[in-house]
Amino acid sequence: MIGDNADKAGIVLEGITRAYYIDGNGNDITRGFGARGRMCMDEGLFGYSGYICMWETLSDSTVMYFDVRELKSLIMSSEDLKAIWIVLLEKALRYKMYRENGFLVENATERYLHFRRAFPDLADSVPKKHIATYLGITPESLSRIRSAMKEE
């Protein structure tokens, strides 16, 4: 739950997870997805003391959980693990920069095309309403974009 102690993080071994917020108007807004090999419930790894969003599984999923404090201690104990951690942090930062750039300079169709390239395994297996909120558009707009793409 939002605000709960972010002392656990997970890596998705099988299935699909989703991180989401509920805004002040009660709208469900997708922050991101986790699929095989991707992290979930990761706020504690990035310095948050409490979870800042909700997580749910979108399919039968297997998630391996880690104690954040123990994992970070293990990472800091090894130069090799620190190097891997830096690579993961850089990847996370690039993702955040990509998302920000998309909302600032791309139209909805361009954001959807990037989503399909970045997450080809999710584009047809995640409910369209979640993809739409991830892209910052309505489900109806996503349907129009998908229809227009089929016509071309």
31-84 pLDDT, tens digit per residue, is 999 888 888 888 888 888 888 889 999 999 999 999 999 999 999 999 999 999
DSSP letters, the chain, are: -TTSB--EEEEEEESEEEEEEE-TTS-EEEEEEEETT-EES-GGGGT-SB--SEEEESSS-EEEEEEHHHHHHHHHT-HHHHHHHHHHHHHHHHHHHHHHHHHHH--HHHHHHHHHHH-TTTTTTS-HHHHHHHHTS-HHHHHHHHHHHHH-
Report the pLDDT value the prediction gives residue 43, as an integer from 0 to 100.
87
- In which band, very low, low, confident or very high, does the pLDDT at 14 lie, cut at 50, 70 and 90? very high
CATH of domain 8-151: 2.60.120.10
Report the pLDDT value the prediction gives residue 92, as an integer from 0 to 100.
87
Report the pLDDT value the prediction gives residue 42, as an integer from 0 to 100.
83
Report the pLDDT value the prediction gives residue 73, as an integer from 0 to 100.
95
Q: What would the pLDDT profile of 94-140 be if each residue is shown by its tens digit?
A: 988 989 998 999 999 999 999 999 888 888 889 999 999 999 999 99
Rounded to two decimals, the pTM is 0.85
Report the pLDDT value the prediction gives residue 21, as an integer from 0 to 100.
92
